[in-house]
Structure 1
Protein backbone atom coordinates (compact mmCIF):
# COMPACT_ATOMS: atom_id res chain seq x y z
CA UNK A 1 0.00 0.00 0.00
CA UNK A 2 1.40 3.40 -0.99
CA UNK A 3 2.08 6.20 1.47
CA UNK A 4 -0.73 8.20 -0.13
CA UNK A 5 -3.25 5.42 0.50
CA UNK A 6 -2.01 4.80 4.03
CA UNK A 7 -2.39 8.48 4.82
CA UNK A 8 -5.81 8.65 3.22
CA UNK A 9 -7.08 5.61 5.11
CA UNK A 10 -5.92 7.01 8.42
CA UNK A 11 -7.24 10.54 7.79
CA UNK A 12 -10.30 10.18 5.55
CA UNK A 13 -13.71 10.27 7.26
CA UNK A 14 -16.19 7.40 6.96
CA UNK A 15 -17.84 9.33 4.14
CA UNK A 16 -15.99 11.73 1.85
CA UNK A 17 -16.66 14.18 -0.95
CA UNK A 18 -15.46 13.50 -4.49
CA UNK A 19 -14.33 16.69 -6.24
CA UNK A 20 -13.13 17.12 -9.81
CA UNK A 21 -11.93 20.52 -11.02
CA UNK A 22 -10.82 21.41 -14.54
CA UNK A 23 -10.30 17.79 -15.57
CA UNK A 24 -8.87 17.32 -19.04
CA UNK A 25 -8.10 13.86 -20.39
CA UNK A 26 -7.79 11.94 -23.61
CA UNK A 27 -6.14 9.16 -25.55
CA UNK A 28 -2.99 10.18 -27.39
CA UNK A 29 -3.90 13.12 -29.62
CA UNK A 30 -7.62 12.67 -29.01
CA UNK A 31 -9.02 15.00 -26.35
CA UNK A 32 -12.06 13.46 -24.60
CA UNK A 33 -12.65 15.75 -21.59
CA UNK A 34 -12.34 19.53 -21.56
CA UNK A 35 -12.21 21.16 -18.13
CA UNK A 36 -14.82 19.05 -16.35
CA UNK A 37 -15.94 20.14 -12.87
CA UNK A 38 -17.97 17.68 -10.80
CA UNK A 39 -18.81 17.17 -7.13
CA UNK A 40 -20.43 14.25 -5.30
CA UNK A 41 -21.17 14.76 -1.60
CA UNK A 42 -21.44 11.90 0.93
CA UNK A 43 -24.74 10.08 0.69
CA UNK A 44 -25.67 11.59 -2.68
CA UNK A 45 -26.66 9.77 -5.83
CA UNK A 46 -25.38 11.75 -8.82
CA UNK A 47 -25.79 10.98 -12.49
CA UNK A 48 -23.73 11.88 -15.55
CA UNK A 49 -25.85 11.60 -18.67
CA UNK A 50 -25.17 12.19 -22.31
CA UNK A 51 -24.98 10.55 -25.73
CA UNK A 52 -22.46 7.98 -26.93
CA UNK A 53 -19.04 9.54 -27.31
CA UNK A 54 -19.72 12.33 -24.80
CA UNK A 55 -16.87 11.19 -22.53
CA UNK A 56 -18.87 9.50 -19.77
CA UNK A 57 -16.80 6.30 -19.60
CA UNK A 58 -13.60 8.32 -19.90
CA UNK A 59 -14.71 10.35 -16.88
CA UNK A 60 -15.13 7.21 -14.76
CA UNK A 61 -11.81 5.84 -15.99
CA UNK A 62 -10.14 9.04 -14.77
CA UNK A 63 -11.80 8.80 -11.35
CA UNK A 64 -10.82 5.15 -10.94
CA UNK A 65 -7.22 5.80 -11.99
CA UNK A 66 -7.33 3.80 -15.22
CA UNK A 67 -6.62 6.99 -17.18
CA UNK A 68 -4.53 9.83 -15.81
CA UNK A 69 -5.83 13.36 -16.47
CA UNK A 70 -3.62 15.74 -18.40
CA UNK A 71 -4.82 18.71 -16.33
CA UNK A 72 -7.03 19.48 -13.35
CA UNK A 73 -7.41 18.14 -9.82
CA UNK A 74 -9.15 15.02 -8.54
CA UNK A 75 -9.70 14.67 -4.82
CA UNK A 76 -11.62 12.33 -2.53
CA UNK A 77 -11.90 13.21 1.13
CA UNK A 78 -9.30 15.91 0.59
CA UNK A 79 -6.71 13.50 -0.83
CA UNK A 80 -5.24 13.54 -4.32
CA UNK A 81 -6.52 10.50 -6.25
CA UNK A 82 -4.01 10.98 -9.04
CA UNK A 83 -1.34 9.72 -6.60
CA UNK A 84 -3.26 6.47 -6.00
CA UNK A 85 -2.90 3.32 -8.12
CA UNK A 86 -6.17 1.82 -9.44
CA UNK A 87 -5.81 -1.37 -7.37
CA UNK A 88 -5.52 0.73 -4.21
CA UNK A 89 -8.89 2.48 -4.64
CA UNK A 90 -10.93 -0.19 -2.79
CA UNK A 91 -8.80 0.51 0.29
CA UNK A 92 -10.06 4.11 0.12
CA UNK A 93 -13.68 3.00 -0.17
CA UNK A 94 -14.18 3.40 -3.94
CA UNK A 95 -15.50 0.61 -6.18
CA UNK A 96 -16.04 0.73 -9.95
CA UNK A 97 -18.62 -1.37 -11.84
CA UNK A 98 -17.24 -1.15 -15.40
CA UNK A 99 -19.13 -0.96 -18.65
CA UNK A 100 -20.06 -4.43 -19.99
CA UNK A 101 -19.65 -5.92 -16.49
CA UNK A 102 -16.17 -7.44 -17.08
CA UNK A 103 -16.82 -10.54 -14.99
CA UNK A 104 -14.54 -13.57 -14.99
CA UNK A 105 -16.72 -15.84 -17.16
CA UNK A 106 -15.03 -19.12 -16.18
CA UNK A 107 -15.37 -18.44 -12.45
CA UNK A 108 -18.56 -19.09 -10.53
CA UNK A 109 -20.75 -16.33 -9.13
CA UNK A 110 -19.32 -16.86 -5.65
CA UNK A 111 -15.76 -16.91 -6.98
CA UNK A 112 -16.36 -13.58 -8.72
CA UNK A 113 -17.62 -12.19 -5.43
CA UNK A 114 -14.50 -13.46 -3.71
CA UNK A 115 -12.40 -11.54 -6.25
CA UNK A 116 -14.24 -8.39 -5.14
CA UNK A 117 -13.05 -9.04 -1.58
CA UNK A 118 -9.38 -9.53 -2.53
CA UNK A 119 -8.10 -6.67 -0.35
CA UNK A 120 -6.75 -7.86 2.99
CA UNK A 121 -9.16 -5.65 4.93
CA UNK A 122 -12.11 -7.07 2.97
CA UNK A 123 -11.25 -10.77 3.28
CA UNK A 124 -12.23 -10.89 6.95
CA UNK A 125 -15.74 -9.71 6.02
CA UNK A 126 -16.25 -12.04 3.06
CA UNK A 127 -19.10 -14.17 4.46
CA UNK A 128 -20.96 -11.19 5.89
CA UNK A 129 -20.76 -9.17 2.68
CA UNK A 130 -21.53 -12.16 0.47
CA UNK A 131 -24.71 -12.74 2.47
CA UNK A 132 -25.64 -9.06 2.10
CA UNK A 133 -25.14 -9.31 -1.67
CA UNK A 134 -27.31 -12.42 -1.75
CA UNK A 135 -30.01 -10.57 0.20
CA UNK A 136 -29.91 -7.76 -2.38
CA UNK A 137 -29.79 -10.20 -5.30
CA UNK A 138 -31.57 -13.46 -4.34
CA UNK A 139 -31.07 -14.70 -7.93
CA UNK A 140 -27.31 -14.74 -7.31
CA UNK A 141 -27.76 -16.93 -4.25
CA UNK A 142 -29.60 -19.45 -6.43
CA UNK A 143 -26.78 -19.36 -8.99
CA UNK A 144 -23.82 -19.07 -6.62
CA UNK A 145 -22.12 -22.16 -8.10
CA UNK A 146 -22.95 -21.30 -11.73
CA UNK A 147 -20.26 -19.97 -14.09
CA UNK A 148 -20.66 -16.22 -14.53
CA UNK A 149 -20.36 -16.53 -18.30
CA UNK A 150 -23.57 -18.58 -18.43
CA UNK A 151 -25.70 -16.00 -16.62
CA UNK A 152 -28.22 -13.77 -18.37
CA UNK A 153 -27.28 -10.14 -18.99
CA UNK A 154 -29.31 -8.94 -16.02
CA UNK A 155 -27.81 -11.56 -13.73
CA UNK A 156 -24.31 -10.60 -14.88
CA UNK A 157 -25.02 -6.98 -14.02
CA UNK A 158 -26.21 -8.04 -10.57
CA UNK A 159 -23.03 -10.06 -10.12
CA UNK A 160 -20.87 -7.12 -11.22
CA UNK A 161 -22.56 -4.78 -8.74
CA UNK A 162 -22.34 -7.45 -6.05
CA UNK A 163 -18.63 -7.94 -6.72
CA UNK A 164 -18.07 -4.20 -6.26
CA UNK A 165 -20.00 -4.21 -2.98
CA UNK A 166 -17.74 -6.95 -1.60
CA UNK A 167 -14.98 -4.41 -0.96
CA UNK A 168 -17.25 -2.47 1.39
CA UNK A 169 -17.21 0.76 -0.64
CA UNK A 170 -18.43 4.18 0.47
CA UNK A 171 -18.52 5.42 -3.14
CA UNK A 172 -19.85 3.22 -5.96
CA UNK A 173 -19.08 4.15 -9.58
CA UNK A 174 -21.52 2.63 -12.09
CA UNK A 175 -20.77 2.73 -15.81
CA UNK A 176 -23.82 2.24 -18.07
CA UNK A 177 -25.57 -0.36 -15.88
CA UNK A 178 -28.54 -0.60 -18.27
CA UNK A 179 -26.47 -1.26 -21.41
CA UNK A 180 -27.70 -4.25 -23.42
CA UNK A 181 -30.47 -5.18 -21.01
CA UNK A 182 -34.15 -5.76 -21.72
CA UNK A 183 -36.47 -2.95 -20.49
CA UNK A 184 -37.93 -5.01 -17.64
CA UNK A 185 -34.42 -5.93 -16.44
CA UNK A 186 -33.36 -2.27 -16.69
CA UNK A 187 -36.17 -1.37 -14.28
CA UNK A 188 -35.02 -4.08 -11.88
CA UNK A 189 -31.41 -2.87 -11.99
CA UNK A 190 -32.39 0.73 -11.26
CA UNK A 191 -34.69 -0.40 -8.45
CA UNK A 192 -31.68 -2.13 -6.92
CA UNK A 193 -29.55 0.99 -7.37
CA UNK A 194 -32.25 2.95 -5.55
CA UNK A 195 -32.21 0.44 -2.69
CA UNK A 196 -28.42 0.55 -2.43
CA UNK A 197 -28.36 4.33 -2.21
CA UNK A 198 -31.20 4.37 0.32
CA UNK A 199 -28.91 2.31 2.57
CA UNK A 200 -26.50 5.24 2.61
CA UNK A 201 -24.02 4.41 -0.14
CA UNK A 202 -22.78 7.31 -2.26
CA UNK A 203 -23.36 6.60 -5.96
CA UNK A 204 -22.02 8.15 -9.16
CA UNK A 205 -23.68 6.65 -12.23
CA UNK A 206 -23.03 7.38 -15.90
CA UNK A 207 -25.86 6.39 -18.17
CA UNK A 208 -27.49 6.95 -21.56
CA UNK A 209 -30.95 6.07 -20.23
CA UNK A 210 -31.71 9.56 -18.98
CA UNK A 211 -35.35 8.95 -18.04
CA UNK A 212 -34.44 6.04 -15.77
CA UNK A 213 -31.40 7.59 -14.14
CA UNK A 214 -33.19 10.85 -13.28
CA UNK A 215 -35.63 8.79 -11.22
CA UNK A 216 -32.90 7.45 -8.91
CA UNK A 217 -30.40 10.32 -8.54
CA UNK A 218 -30.51 13.57 -6.57
CA UNK A 219 -28.58 15.59 -9.13
CA UNK A 220 -27.16 15.10 -12.59
CA UNK A 221 -24.65 16.55 -15.01
CA UNK A 222 -25.20 16.56 -18.77
CA UNK A 223 -21.96 15.78 -20.60
CA UNK A 224 -21.69 16.68 -24.29
CA UNK A 225 -18.51 16.33 -26.36
CA UNK A 226 -16.38 16.27 -23.21
CA UNK A 227 -17.88 19.35 -21.56
CA UNK A 228 -20.54 19.85 -18.90
CA UNK A 229 -23.48 21.32 -20.83
CA UNK A 230 -25.97 21.48 -17.95
CA UNK A 231 -26.26 20.51 -14.30
CA UNK A 232 -28.96 20.58 -11.65
CA UNK A 233 -31.37 18.58 -9.56
CA UNK A 234 -32.99 15.60 -11.23
CA UNK A 235 -36.37 17.34 -11.02
CA UNK A 236 -35.05 20.53 -12.63
CA UNK A 237 -33.36 18.66 -15.46
CA UNK A 238 -36.43 16.50 -16.08
CA UNK A 239 -38.48 19.69 -16.42
CA UNK A 240 -35.96 21.49 -18.66
CA UNK A 241 -37.44 21.80 -22.19
CA UNK A 242 -34.08 21.22 -23.89
CA UNK A 243 -33.40 18.08 -21.84
CA UNK A 244 -36.94 16.81 -22.42
CA UNK A 245 -36.64 17.37 -26.16
CA UNK A 246 -33.08 16.04 -26.61
CA UNK A 247 -32.97 13.17 -24.14
CA UNK A 248 -36.50 12.22 -23.08
CA UNK A 249 -38.20 12.43 -26.49
CA UNK A 250 -40.79 14.83 -25.10
CA UNK A 251 -41.92 18.32 -26.10
Structure 2
Protein backbone atom coordinates (compact mmCIF):
# COMPACT_ATOMS: atom_id res chain seq x y z
CA UNK A 1 0.00 0.00 0.00
CA UNK A 2 1.32 3.40 -0.91
CA UNK A 3 1.81 6.01 1.76
CA UNK A 4 -0.60 8.25 -0.14
CA UNK A 5 -3.44 5.86 0.54
CA UNK A 6 -2.67 5.39 4.23
CA UNK A 7 -5.80 6.73 5.95
CA UNK A 8 -5.21 9.56 8.43
CA UNK A 9 -5.17 8.19 11.95
CA UNK A 10 -4.69 4.59 10.80
CA UNK A 11 -1.61 4.07 12.97
CA UNK A 12 -3.68 4.84 16.06
CA UNK A 13 -6.07 1.96 15.49
CA UNK A 14 -5.93 -0.31 18.49
CA UNK A 15 -5.41 -4.03 17.92
CA UNK A 16 -7.69 -6.67 19.32
CA UNK A 17 -11.00 -4.86 18.82
CA UNK A 18 -13.12 -7.80 17.74
CA UNK A 19 -16.85 -7.49 17.08
CA UNK A 20 -18.74 -10.28 18.82
CA UNK A 21 -22.44 -11.13 18.67
CA UNK A 22 -24.03 -14.06 20.49
CA UNK A 23 -27.65 -15.17 20.70
CA UNK A 24 -28.99 -11.98 19.12
CA UNK A 25 -32.76 -11.79 18.84
CA UNK A 26 -34.30 -8.71 17.30
CA UNK A 27 -37.29 -7.51 15.35
CA UNK A 28 -39.90 -4.82 14.77
CA UNK A 29 -43.01 -4.77 16.92
CA UNK A 30 -44.57 -8.23 16.85
CA UNK A 31 -42.31 -9.34 13.99
CA UNK A 32 -39.10 -11.16 14.91
CA UNK A 33 -36.34 -10.93 12.30
CA UNK A 34 -33.34 -12.51 14.06
CA UNK A 35 -33.32 -15.73 16.07
CA UNK A 36 -30.20 -16.33 18.15
CA UNK A 37 -27.69 -14.98 15.64
CA UNK A 38 -24.01 -15.10 16.53
CA UNK A 39 -20.93 -13.97 14.60
CA UNK A 40 -17.43 -12.68 15.17
CA UNK A 41 -15.31 -10.27 13.15
CA UNK A 42 -11.61 -10.09 13.99
CA UNK A 43 -9.57 -6.89 13.57
CA UNK A 44 -8.43 -6.49 9.96
CA UNK A 45 -10.86 -9.10 8.65
CA UNK A 46 -13.41 -8.69 5.91
CA UNK A 47 -16.50 -10.74 6.72
CA UNK A 48 -19.66 -11.12 4.65
CA UNK A 49 -23.23 -11.85 5.67
CA UNK A 50 -25.09 -13.23 2.67
CA UNK A 51 -28.53 -14.60 2.07
CA UNK A 52 -31.82 -13.95 0.33
CA UNK A 53 -33.96 -10.84 0.65
CA UNK A 54 -35.81 -10.87 3.96
CA UNK A 55 -33.24 -13.05 5.73
CA UNK A 56 -32.57 -10.40 8.38
CA UNK A 57 -29.28 -9.04 7.04
CA UNK A 58 -30.17 -5.34 7.26
CA UNK A 59 -31.70 -5.87 10.71
CA UNK A 60 -28.41 -7.39 11.84
CA UNK A 61 -26.45 -4.28 10.83
CA UNK A 62 -29.04 -2.03 12.44
CA UNK A 63 -28.60 -3.92 15.69
CA UNK A 64 -24.82 -3.45 15.54
CA UNK A 65 -25.11 0.27 14.82
CA UNK A 66 -27.65 0.80 17.59
CA UNK A 67 -30.63 1.66 15.40
CA UNK A 68 -32.46 -1.38 16.81
CA UNK A 69 -31.99 -2.69 20.33
CA UNK A 70 -31.73 -6.49 20.55
CA UNK A 71 -34.39 -8.29 22.53
CA UNK A 72 -31.85 -10.81 23.77
CA UNK A 73 -28.20 -11.73 23.33
CA UNK A 74 -24.87 -10.00 23.70
CA UNK A 75 -23.20 -7.45 21.44
CA UNK A 76 -19.62 -6.45 22.18
CA UNK A 77 -16.89 -4.52 20.40
CA UNK A 78 -13.40 -4.54 21.83
CA UNK A 79 -14.91 -6.12 24.94
CA UNK A 80 -17.35 -3.23 25.42
CA UNK A 81 -21.09 -3.83 25.65
CA UNK A 82 -22.54 -1.90 22.70
CA UNK A 83 -26.09 -2.13 24.03
CA UNK A 84 -25.04 0.41 26.67
CA UNK A 85 -23.69 2.87 24.08
CA UNK A 86 -26.10 5.40 22.48
CA UNK A 87 -26.13 5.20 18.65
CA UNK A 88 -24.67 8.69 18.17
CA UNK A 89 -21.59 7.69 20.20
CA UNK A 90 -20.69 4.66 18.06
CA UNK A 91 -18.65 6.63 15.45
CA UNK A 92 -16.47 7.78 18.34
CA UNK A 93 -15.74 4.13 19.10
CA UNK A 94 -14.68 3.55 15.49
CA UNK A 95 -17.88 2.06 14.04
CA UNK A 96 -19.24 3.50 10.77
CA UNK A 97 -22.38 2.29 8.97
CA UNK A 98 -23.07 2.77 5.25
CA UNK A 99 -26.83 2.12 5.22
CA UNK A 100 -28.97 0.47 2.60
CA UNK A 101 -29.91 2.88 -0.24
CA UNK A 102 -26.98 5.19 0.69
CA UNK A 103 -29.10 7.68 2.73
CA UNK A 104 -27.17 10.72 1.57
CA UNK A 105 -28.44 14.25 2.10
CA UNK A 106 -29.56 14.85 -1.51
CA UNK A 107 -29.74 18.65 -1.28
CA UNK A 108 -26.22 18.94 0.13
CA UNK A 109 -23.10 18.83 -2.03
CA UNK A 110 -20.65 15.95 -1.98
CA UNK A 111 -18.27 17.95 0.19
CA UNK A 112 -21.06 18.91 2.59
CA UNK A 113 -22.04 15.25 2.92
CA UNK A 114 -18.40 14.43 3.71
CA UNK A 115 -18.38 17.13 6.35
CA UNK A 116 -21.42 15.51 7.98
CA UNK A 117 -19.39 12.32 8.21
CA UNK A 118 -16.77 14.17 10.24
CA UNK A 119 -19.26 15.47 12.79
CA UNK A 120 -17.63 14.02 15.91
CA UNK A 121 -15.43 16.30 17.97
CA UNK A 122 -12.41 14.04 17.41
CA UNK A 123 -12.99 13.90 13.62
CA UNK A 124 -13.42 17.62 12.94
CA UNK A 125 -9.70 18.53 13.15
CA UNK A 126 -8.99 15.72 10.67
CA UNK A 127 -11.53 16.91 8.10
CA UNK A 128 -9.18 18.21 5.42
CA UNK A 129 -6.73 15.28 5.62
CA UNK A 130 -9.52 12.70 5.52
CA UNK A 131 -11.33 14.52 2.72
CA UNK A 132 -8.16 14.36 0.62
CA UNK A 133 -7.83 10.66 1.46
CA UNK A 134 -11.41 10.08 0.26
CA UNK A 135 -10.64 12.01 -2.93
CA UNK A 136 -7.61 9.76 -3.51
CA UNK A 137 -9.77 6.67 -3.10
CA UNK A 138 -12.62 8.12 -5.17
CA UNK A 139 -11.22 10.64 -7.70
CA UNK A 140 -14.71 11.14 -9.13
CA UNK A 141 -15.82 12.57 -5.78
CA UNK A 142 -13.20 15.29 -6.12
CA UNK A 143 -14.61 16.13 -9.54
CA UNK A 144 -18.15 16.18 -8.08
CA UNK A 145 -17.28 17.89 -4.79
CA UNK A 146 -19.58 20.88 -5.43
CA UNK A 147 -22.39 18.85 -7.02
CA UNK A 148 -25.61 18.09 -5.13
CA UNK A 149 -25.47 14.47 -3.99
CA UNK A 150 -29.01 13.77 -5.16
CA UNK A 151 -28.15 14.61 -8.78
CA UNK A 152 -25.40 11.99 -9.11
CA UNK A 153 -25.66 8.46 -10.48
CA UNK A 154 -26.28 5.52 -8.16
CA UNK A 155 -22.67 4.42 -8.32
CA UNK A 156 -21.40 7.90 -7.53
CA UNK A 157 -23.82 8.15 -4.61
CA UNK A 158 -22.50 4.85 -3.25
CA UNK A 159 -18.93 6.18 -3.46
CA UNK A 160 -20.02 9.30 -1.61
CA UNK A 161 -21.79 7.24 1.08
CA UNK A 162 -18.68 5.12 1.66
CA UNK A 163 -16.52 8.25 1.65
CA UNK A 164 -18.81 9.90 4.20
CA UNK A 165 -18.43 6.88 6.49
CA UNK A 166 -14.63 7.00 6.16
CA UNK A 167 -14.59 10.63 7.30
CA UNK A 168 -15.08 9.55 10.92
CA UNK A 169 -11.84 7.55 10.80
CA UNK A 170 -13.52 4.20 11.52
CA UNK A 171 -11.88 0.99 12.67
CA UNK A 172 -14.76 -1.13 11.38
CA UNK A 173 -16.97 -0.34 8.37
CA UNK A 174 -20.48 -1.79 8.11
CA UNK A 175 -21.69 -1.95 4.50
CA UNK A 176 -25.34 -2.71 3.80
CA UNK A 177 -26.04 -3.97 0.26
CA UNK A 178 -23.48 -1.73 -1.49
CA UNK A 179 -24.29 -3.23 -4.92
CA UNK A 180 -28.07 -2.80 -4.69
CA UNK A 181 -29.62 -1.14 -7.73
CA UNK A 182 -26.34 -0.64 -9.57
CA UNK A 183 -25.41 -1.66 -13.11
CA UNK A 184 -23.09 -4.70 -13.32
CA UNK A 185 -20.05 -2.66 -14.37
CA UNK A 186 -20.61 -0.27 -11.45
CA UNK A 187 -20.98 -3.24 -9.09
CA UNK A 188 -17.51 -4.36 -10.16
CA UNK A 189 -16.15 -0.89 -9.39
CA UNK A 190 -17.79 -0.78 -5.97
CA UNK A 191 -16.35 -4.15 -4.95
CA UNK A 192 -12.93 -3.12 -6.21
CA UNK A 193 -13.18 -0.09 -3.94
CA UNK A 194 -14.12 -2.38 -1.04
CA UNK A 195 -11.02 -4.45 -1.82
CA UNK A 196 -8.84 -1.33 -1.73
CA UNK A 197 -10.34 -0.15 1.55
CA UNK A 198 -9.70 -3.43 3.27
CA UNK A 199 -6.12 -3.51 1.98
CA UNK A 200 -5.58 -0.49 4.23
CA UNK A 201 -6.26 -2.69 7.24
CA UNK A 202 -9.80 -1.50 7.84
CA UNK A 203 -12.12 -4.14 9.29
CA UNK A 204 -15.18 -4.65 7.08
CA UNK A 205 -18.53 -6.34 7.70
CA UNK A 206 -20.53 -6.41 4.49
CA UNK A 207 -24.15 -7.50 4.04
CA UNK A 208 -24.95 -8.44 0.46
CA UNK A 209 -27.31 -10.42 -1.77
CA UNK A 210 -24.70 -10.62 -4.52
CA UNK A 211 -23.07 -13.73 -3.07
CA UNK A 212 -20.64 -14.40 -5.93
CA UNK A 213 -19.16 -10.90 -5.74
CA UNK A 214 -18.90 -10.66 -1.97
CA UNK A 215 -17.19 -14.04 -1.62
CA UNK A 216 -14.39 -12.69 -3.82
CA UNK A 217 -13.54 -9.85 -1.41
CA UNK A 218 -14.12 -11.30 2.08
CA UNK A 219 -12.12 -13.72 4.21
CA UNK A 220 -15.12 -15.44 5.75
CA UNK A 221 -18.88 -15.33 5.44
CA UNK A 222 -22.06 -16.25 7.25
CA UNK A 223 -25.17 -17.40 5.41
CA UNK A 224 -28.31 -15.98 6.97
CA UNK A 225 -31.67 -17.61 6.21
CA UNK A 226 -34.96 -16.63 7.86
CA UNK A 227 -33.14 -14.89 10.66
CA UNK A 228 -30.77 -17.73 11.53
CA UNK A 229 -27.17 -18.55 10.63
CA UNK A 230 -27.50 -21.49 8.22
CA UNK A 231 -23.80 -21.84 7.39
CA UNK A 232 -20.46 -20.16 7.96
CA UNK A 233 -16.90 -20.63 6.78
CA UNK A 234 -14.01 -19.36 4.71
CA UNK A 235 -15.14 -17.70 1.51
CA UNK A 236 -13.44 -20.30 -0.70
CA UNK A 237 -15.10 -23.13 1.23
CA UNK A 238 -18.55 -21.59 0.89
CA UNK A 239 -18.01 -20.86 -2.81
CA UNK A 240 -17.20 -24.54 -3.35
CA UNK A 241 -20.07 -25.90 -1.21
CA UNK A 242 -22.62 -27.64 -3.48
CA UNK A 243 -25.62 -26.41 -1.48
CA UNK A 244 -24.39 -22.81 -1.53
CA UNK A 245 -23.65 -23.06 -5.24
CA UNK A 246 -27.15 -24.36 -5.96
CA UNK A 247 -28.90 -21.78 -3.82
CA UNK A 248 -26.85 -18.65 -4.49
CA UNK A 249 -24.30 -19.11 -7.26
CA UNK A 250 -26.33 -20.78 -9.97
CA UNK A 251 -24.14 -23.90 -9.83
CA UNK A 252 -24.90 -27.59 -9.65
- Which TM-score band (shorter chain)? over 0.9
What is the total number of aligned residue pairs between the two structures?
A: 240
* Cα separation, 2, equivalents of 1:85 and 1:183: 37
4+ residue runs of structure 1 moved beyond 3 angstroms?
A: 12-15
Contact 1:221/1:228, CA 8 A, preserved across alignment: yes
Q: Aligned with 1:47: secondary structure? A: strand
User: What stretches of structure 2 of length at least 5 have no aligned partner?
Assistant: 1-12
Residue aligning to 2:51: 50
1:25 deviates by 0.3
* Cα separation, 2, equivalents of 1:150 and 1:137: 17
Residue aligning to 1:115: 116
* Cα separation, 1, equivalents of 2:32 and 2:95: 26
Residue aligning to 2:6: none
Residue aligning to 1:236: 237
Contact 1:13/1:77, CA 8 A, preserved across alignment: no
* Cα separation, 2, equivalents of 1:31 and 1:13: 35
Contact 2:61/2:174, CA 8 A, preserved across alignment: yes
1:15 deviates by 5.0
Aligned ranges for residues 1-251 of structure 1 at < 5 Å?
13-251=14-252
Q: Aligned with 2:122: secondary structure? A: helix
1:14 deviates by 4.7
Q: Aligned with 1:162: secondary structure? A: helix
Q: Aligned with 2:190: secondary structure? A: helix
Contact 2:15/2:43, CA 8 A, preserved across alignment: no
Residue aligning to 2:3: none
Contact 1:54/1:226, CA 8 A, preserved across alignment: yes
Contact 1:14/1:170, CA 8 A, preserved across alignment: no
Q: Aligned with 2:205: secondary structure? A: strand
Contact 1:23/1:37, CA 8 A, preserved across alignment: yes
Residue aligning to 2:10: none
Please report the RMSD computed on the Cα atoms of aligned residues, expressed in angstroms: 0.8
1:234 deviates by 0.2
